[in-house]
Amino acid sequence: MRWKRTIQLLDVHAEGEIGRVAIGGVPKIPGDTIAEQLAWLNSDPKGQELRRFLCLEPRGAPIGSVNLLLPARHPDADAAFIILQPDQAHASSGSNAICVTTALLEAGIVEMKEPETVVTLETAAGLVKAVATCRDGRCEKVKLTMVASFVHELDVDLQTPEWGGINLDICYGGIFYALVDVGQIGLTIDKTNAAALVRAGMIIKSLINSQITVVHPEIPAISGVAYVMFRDTESDGTVRTCTTMWPGRADRSPCGTGNSANLAALHARGRAKVGDVFQSRSIIGTQFEVGFLGETTVAGKTAIIPTITGRGFTFGLSQVALDPFDPLADGFAMTDVWGPSAGEI
């Protein structure tokens, strides 16, 4: 073979959301910290080239993420990772942390111990503790202690041309979210409404980021609202979610960082306290357990420590390669599959 680059990928999903894990062939990423490496991936042409190579057609697909396994920089961490998606590299993700933990243990990169293995993951947003329940060589479920989550602003009034005024919360759960009660756009969170929800999410996200500056007070590499998460509460108290992701798809999982952000909003309104546990259900009906572990502060802001529990499943092993003569080395996306925003890629 005359391949210029090869990267080995272990295919994993967490409650339906695909998080492929690059376990071999990952090039050296410049930066002294994971946050600096994140910034390089999002700003340097070579970093963007790597993302496009893995995430766009013909080697990638509009569903799921690719997680780059990196050497940990923090002395307490077992491994580090950064999430690549079609739009950019992202700092943190609950579903992807579950996928990475499952991959590390089931591939033997980190020794599996039964009945429980603790894995400390380093992200650009901070350390995430993963406690994996293990049996017969398999990772059955993963409980994540997420990074500190906090409210940026509650009850933001956003004027939209289609739905009029929308009230939303901007909160941080490892990345920034706009949290929107779904009834305001006249929809329910159901698979049949996925395309309409995604369309609305892309419009709302664009409006927010054109009008509101959002930057993490301690990690400037994390800025802007990454996703719009629509939410609803079912009769049994379960939180129903649909996180909409650029250029036009819905998260298949209940969304770990989104639920962390939502928990910060619930706490700020006096609707959640330390020790509370609730269920969150995705647009396809899969579930995460969301827990309120404790309170803390971030740059003087009140913050909370959430936990997210879910399952990861391996389903394939592949190798992605680049022929040096391939004219589509930079990747591409089309609106027929990727949605109307694909024209911006």
How confident is the model over 204-257, as pLDDT tens digits? 999 999 999 999 999 999 999 999 999 999 999 899 999 999 888 999 999 999
pLDDT on residue 201? 97
Name the E strands within the chain: 5-14, 17-24, 65-70, 79-84, 89-90, 116-123, 126-135, 138-145, 149-160, 164-172, 176-181, 225-233, 239-245, 249-250, 277-281, 287-298, 301-310, 312-322
Pair 299, 330 in one domain: no
At 162, the pLDDT band (50, 70, 90 cuts) reads: very high
Task: Provide the domain limits for residue 45.
Answer: 5-145+313-344
Token pair belonging to 242? 């649909």
pLDDT at residue 287 above 90? yes
pLDDT on residue 344? 78
Pair 29, 154 in one domain: no
Pair 251, 269 in one domain: yes
Pair 70, 169 in one domain: no
Q: Quick: pLDDT tens for 268-286.
A: 999 999 999 999 999 999 9
Token pair belonging to 243? 């996180």
pLDDT at residue 149 above 90? yes
CATH label of the domain that carries residue 107 = 3.10.310.10
DSSP string, 55-79: HSBTT--SSSEEEEEE---STT-SE
Pair 52, 185 in one domain: no
Q: Using an 8 Å Cβ cutoff, are 208 and 171 in contact?
A: no
Number of separate domains in the chain: 2
Q: State the Cα–Cα distance between residues 282 and 264, nearest whole angstrom.
A: 19
Pair 196, 302 in one domain: yes
Q: Quick: pLDDT tens for 34-66.
A: 999 999 999 999 999 999 999 999 999 989 999
pLDDT at residue 77 above 90? yes
Pair 208, 280 in one domain: yes
pLDDT at residue 343 above 80? no
Q: State the Cα–Cα distance between residues 52 and 342, nearest whole angstrom.
A: 13
Q: How far is CA 143 from the centre of its chain?
A: 16
Pair 237, 194 in one domain: yes
Pair 154, 273 in one domain: yes
Pair 154, 99 in one domain: no
Q: State the Cα–Cα distance between residues 121 and 123, nearest whole angstrom.
A: 6
Q: Quick: pLDDT tens for 317-341.
A: 999 999 999 999 999 999 998 888 8
**Which residues have a catalytic role annotated?**
93, 255
Pair 195, 229 in one domain: yes
pTM attached to this predicted model: 0.96
Pair 276, 154 in one domain: yes
